[in-house]
């Protein structure tokens, strides 16, 4: 099938296959490279982030290590601890210590006799014994060392805390175990506000696989130690890239282990975030490939047309020459192989035309000579005409009839071969026309499908534009709400400040109220900061929505232009269909006529062969009858016959030359 394809089609197909193969290979390599680079960027950035968080945790715990060491070494504290009758002074030291360290939620000491000194002072459950508590027992097992408990949720405030404890000894005597509860809210906020990638987050897990800090409050305290990927984390110190599945979703994480506590700090994102980024790269590759293919097809069409057009000119000239018209020369301006072919063809015509003219002149002279020779032979044979007239006429007629029949058979056979060639060419033309008709119908069907898809695309573009405008309006409403929240936060902050001032004026009686006012002020500041961040995000969303709306207007305009192009293409295909249908009808008519001619040709060949056979038999009989007179008229008859045959051959040659147009 490819062998019969036109040169222009072959060139376009070759160019298209080359560019498609090139784009597939290069696009695949670039896509894989981009995917690996994006994954490597996540690995590096996330691992750096978790290392920074680990360093921050070490600094926080180190600060509190120093603080509890200083408190344990405080002489006044040891003196009051030795004399528990001065519990008020111990509570005052605890209060000053707590005020100096904002994240300490409470400070306390348990004594060997089961007494508990706690600041802030609060009522303990009946029968509360610090000696059976984990912090007391762990510190007692490691005298002089600071121990850290596993993080846990505070029963009263619901926040995540961790406890540090150390034994207090004077002259080898155990006075009690000093402990502090550290509020992890600040650390929790830092972890919650740290974003990995676009939607990822940081997580803090204890050494037993229990969630300590997580942006999702429902995950706090959840035990995931049975998960296979958690077992992998617990068995390793660090890993900069680990792929895992949780709740039927593929994820990536990087983690490190805090050496002081055994905690696992890891950053995680869903694998879909990586694939979304690579999908954008893939779409860009597809667009570039499609544009490149279209450009190559266009260039291939132009180049192939420039090559095939002069070849078509030469073919048309050769078809004229095939019918005997040697008057038209080929005009090709190119100097490539096609131009050389045209020059060779023109040169051939220039040599053939004089040759044909010369043959024509010779045939004219030959005809005159043959006529003169025939006249002379007739005058010479007049004396023998009366004797052998009857037999001579019979033999002559039989000989001429046989010769004419034989030549007629040869001419008919030549005509038969030409007819068969014409029939074959007509069949090929009919098959090619039918194929073109089928391809044109396929093209019309494709145009109809393109119109349907174009209408669907226009409808989708319109819907997306409406959604974007709606999103822009809603974001403006949210912005106004955020402004209101910000104003409320500022007022709350001001009220909290006034409350703190009033509490300070009230002295010890207003201390508890001052703490509450301070917490309210912090919450107001946090609300204001969050409102500002949300306001910034809303501004970004409004900007992106505006840009998207502009892009959608461009898309709608492009859809309108696409519809016009589809209409034009469909009109062209309809015209082509009408032309092809007309060609099919004409081809069928020609094919029928040629079939009938071919049938009549066979009958003519058979008739000529019959005539030739009868003529040969007649000639043989005539020769037997004229045997007696043949010796006398042989010489003259031979000359006469030769002259007539020469005359006939000259006429045939002249007739043959007449078909050439020069």
Task: For 533-563, write each residue's pLDDT tens digit.
Answer: 777 877 777 777 677 677 667 766 766 776 7
CA dihedral sign, ordered 406, 407, 410, 411: negative
Domain's final residue, options 271, 297, 323: 297
Q: Are strands 147-148 and 160-170 parallel, antiparallel or unpaired?
A: antiparallel
CATH of the domain at 635: 1.10.287.950
pLDDT of residue 117: 92
Separation of alpha carbons 104 and 119, rounded Å: 10
Question: Residue 283 pLDDT more than 70?
Answer: yes
Separation of alpha carbons 236 and 256, rounded Å: 9
SS3 643: helix
Report residue 129's pLDDT band, with 50, 70 and 90 as the boundaries: very high
Separation of alpha carbons 259 and 265, rounded Å: 11
% of the chain residues with pLDDT over 90: 10
Report residue 336's pLDDT band, with 50, 70 and 90 as the boundaries: confident
Does 330 fall in a domain? Answer: no
Separation of alpha carbons 302 and 292, rounded Å: 15
Question: Residue 412 pLDDT more than 70?
Answer: no
Are 235 and 178 in contact, with CB atoms under 8 Å apart?
A: no
User: Do both 267 and 390 map to the same domain?
Assistant: no
User: Do both 289 and 353 map to the same domain?
Assistant: no
Structural domain range at position 60: 1-297
pLDDT tens digits, 157-179: 777 888 999 999 888 888 899 99
User: Do both 214 and 358 map to the same domain?
Assistant: no
User: Do both 270 and 409 map to the same domain?
Assistant: no
SS3 239: strand
Looking at the 3D structure of the chain, how many domains does it have? Answer: 2
User: Do both 282 and 356 map to the same domain?
Assistant: no
Does 118 fall in a domain? Answer: yes
Q: Using H for helix, E for strand and C for coil, what is the string for 432-459?
A: HHHHHHHHHHHHHHHHHHHHHHHHHHHH
User: Do both 356 and 473 map to the same domain?
Assistant: yes
- Comparing CA positions, the residue from 184, 182, 148 lying closest to residue 166 is 148
Are 643 and 360 in contact, with CB atoms under 8 Å apart?
A: no
Q: Give CB contacts under 8 A, 24+ apart, made by 505-512.
A: none
User: Do both 289 and 400 map to the same domain?
Assistant: no
pTM for this structure?
0.42
User: Do both 277 and 348 map to the same domain?
Assistant: no
Does 315 fall in a domain? Answer: no
Strand partners, 469: none
Query: How many CB atoms sit inside 10 A of residue 118's CB?
Result: 19
User: Do both 496 and 376 map to the same domain?
Assistant: yes
Q: Tell me the average pLDDT across 445-457.
A: 74
What helix, strand, coil percent values describe the chain, rounded to 5?
A: 75, 10, 15
Domain's final residue, options 244, 270, 297: 297
User: Do both 112 and 161 map to the same domain?
Assistant: yes
User: Do both 89 and 181 map to the same domain?
Assistant: yes
CATH of the domain at 268: 3.30.450.20
Domain's final residue, options 297, 319, 353: 297
Separation of alpha carbons 191 and 204, rounded Å: 8
Does 307 fall in a domain? Answer: no
């Amino acid at each position: 099938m490819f062998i019969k394809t036109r040169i222009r089609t072959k060139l376009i197909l070759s160019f298209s296959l080359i560019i498609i193969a090139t784009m597939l290979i290069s696009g695949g390599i670039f896509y894989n490279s981009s995917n690996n680079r994006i994954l490597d960027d996540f690995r590096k950035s996330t691992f750096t982030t978790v290392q920074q968080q680990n360093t921050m945790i070490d600094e926080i715990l180190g600060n509190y290590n120093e603080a509890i060491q200083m408190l344990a070494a405080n002489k006044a504290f040891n003196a009051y601890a030795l004399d528990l009758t001065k519990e008020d002074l111990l509570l005052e030291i605890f209060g000053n210590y707590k005020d100096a360290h904002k994240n300490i939620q409470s400070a306390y000491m348990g004594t060997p006799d089961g007494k508990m000194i706690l600041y802030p002072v609060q009522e303990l459950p009946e029968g509360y014994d610090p000696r059976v508590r984990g912090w007391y027992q762990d510190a007692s097992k490691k005298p002089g060392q600071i121990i850290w408990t596993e993080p846990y949720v505070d029963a009263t405030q619901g926040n995540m805390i961790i406890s540090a404890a150390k034994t207090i000894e004077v002259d080898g005597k155990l006075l009690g175990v000093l402990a502090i509860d550290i509020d992890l809210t600040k650390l929790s906020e830092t972890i919650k506000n740290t974003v990995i990638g676009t939607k990822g987050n940081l997580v803090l897990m204890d050494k037993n696989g229990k969630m300590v800090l997580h942006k999702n409050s429902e995950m706090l305290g959840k035990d995931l130690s049975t998960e296979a990927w958690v077992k992998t984390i617990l068995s390793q110190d660090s890993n900069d890239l680990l792929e895992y599945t949780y709740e039927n979703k593929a994820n990536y994480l990087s983690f490190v282990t805090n050496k002081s506590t055994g905690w696992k700090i890891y950053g995680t994102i869903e694998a879909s975030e990586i694939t979304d980024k690579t999908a954008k790269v893939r779409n860009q590759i597809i667009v570039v490939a499609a544009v490149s293919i279209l450009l190559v097809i266009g260039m291939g069409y132009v180049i192939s047309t420039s090559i095939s057009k002069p070849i078509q000119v030469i073919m048309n000239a050769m078809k004229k020459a095939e019918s005997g018209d040697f008057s038209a020369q080929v005009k090709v301006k190119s100097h490539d192989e096609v131009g050389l072919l045209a020059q060779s063809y023109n040169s051939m015509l220039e040599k053939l035309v004089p040759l044909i003219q010369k043959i024509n002149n010779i045939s004219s002279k030959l005809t005159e000579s043959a006529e003169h020779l025939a006249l002379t032979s007739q005058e010479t044979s007049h004396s023998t005409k009366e004797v052998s007239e009857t037999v001579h006429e019979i033999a002559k007629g039989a000989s001429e009839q046989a010769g004419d029949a034989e030549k007629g058979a040869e001419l008919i056979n030549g005509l038969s071969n030409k007819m068969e060639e014409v029939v074959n060419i007509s069949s090929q033309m009919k098959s090619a026309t039918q194929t073109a008709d089928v391809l044109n119908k396929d093209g019309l069907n494709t145009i109809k499908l393109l119109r349907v898809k174009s209408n669907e695309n226009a409808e989708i573009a319109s819907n997306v534009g409406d959604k974007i405008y709606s999103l822009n309006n809603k974001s403006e409403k949210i912005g106004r709400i955020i402004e209101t929240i910000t104003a409320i936060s500022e007022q709350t902050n001001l009220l909290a400040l006034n409350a703190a001032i009033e509490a300070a004026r009230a002295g010890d009686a207003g201390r508890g109220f001052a703490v509450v006012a301070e917490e309210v002020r912090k919450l107001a500041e946090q609300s204001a900061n969050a409102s500002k961040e949300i306001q910034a995000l809303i501004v970004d969303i409004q900007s992106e929505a505006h840009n998207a709306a502009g892009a959608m207007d461009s898309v709608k305009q492009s859809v309108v232009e696409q519809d016009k192009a589809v209409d034009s293409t469909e009109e062209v295909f309809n015209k082509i269909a009408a032309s092809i249908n007309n060609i099919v009808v004409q081809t069928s008519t020609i094919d029928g006529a040629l079939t009938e001619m071919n049938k009549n040709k066979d009958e003519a060949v058979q008739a000529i062969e019959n005539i030739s056979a009868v003529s040969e038999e007649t000639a043989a009989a005539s020769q037997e009858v004229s045997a007696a007179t043949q010796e006398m008229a042989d010489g003259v008859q031979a000359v006469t016959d030769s002259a007539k045959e020469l005359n006939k051959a000259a006429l045939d040659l002249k007739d043959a030359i007449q078909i050439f147009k020069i």
